[in-house]
Amino acid sequence: MRTGCEMYKHFFKRVIDFVLSLIGGIVLLPIFLIISLAIVIDDPGPVIFKQKRVGKGKKLFWLHKFRSMKVNTPDIPTHLLEHPEQYITKVGKFLRKTSLDELPQVYDILFGKMSIIGPRPALWNQDDLVAERDRYGANDIKPGLTGWAQINGRDELEIPEKARLDGEYVEKMSFLFDCKCFFGTIRSVLKSDGVVEGGTGELHREEEKAGAGRKNEAEVLAEAAVSEEGGHSESEEEES
């Protein structure tokens, strides 16, 4: 059984990646053209966005996506932007929600930079995520178009949990487990599970706002209680 898994990891996985990405790259061409036209009409500029990501063995490579943000967007990670939704185009919002912005990565898979299933490639400056993945050996395999962490929380995951799930994938990597991740991704995309613009950074901002709102509400209630007690005391004094 172990020999079969090793053969899959070192040979058959790449064969499947190559064949499926080649077929996908050809079959999806009409969709690529439609998306490209929609992007240009919505916000004139480049159709493809490329970004340095961390690949196998922590070697950097260029990852490709359909551009979903405005041309004048600051060149920093989305989760570091203040109100990232203001930079996302109308077409981009749809592309991100449906994960169609990731489609150009079929060519990254075709040329051997990525795999269909694997840990999502970290940004070149995500040292915290790369360090966490080192603990689980998740930097020793090719990053993927989708993976185990993607179907178990995606943008909602904190970095330690994301790295742990990536490590779990490394341990369980097999043809059947890849199939589970693949079909789980289809289900997650259809339901838009775990999609949060700005990722965990935006979640933290929302939590802070919610916390501040609860604090303000508590302060108002406390003040009301104090006022009510003061009112009772004054009434009692008048009665006496």
User: What is the per-residue pLDDT for 234?
Assistant: 41
Judge if pTM exceeds 0.85: no
Residue type, 105: Q
CA 34/CA 28 separation, integer angstroms: 10
Strand pairing class (48-54; 144-146): unpaired
Calculated CA dihedral for residues 104, 107, 108, 114, nearest 10 degrees = 100
- φ, ψ at 2 (rounded to 5°): -65, -40
Query: Which distant-in-sequence residues (6+ apart) come within 8 Å of 229 by Cβ?
Result: none
User: What is the per-residue pLDDT for 196?
Assistant: 55
User: What is the per-residue pLDDT for 30?
Assistant: 97
Residue ranges for the chain with pLDDT beneath 50: 201-203, 205, 215, 218, 220, 232-240
CA 33/CA 71 separation, integer angstroms: 19
User: What is the per-residue pLDDT for 190?
Assistant: 83
Rounded alpha-carbon distances, angstroms, from residue 81 to 44, 49, 77, 205? 22, 17, 7, 11
- Give me 184's structure tokens: 């789980």
- DSSP classification of residue 69: B
Buried b (16+ CB within 10 A) or exposed e, 150-177: bbbbbbebebeebbbbbbbbbeebebeb
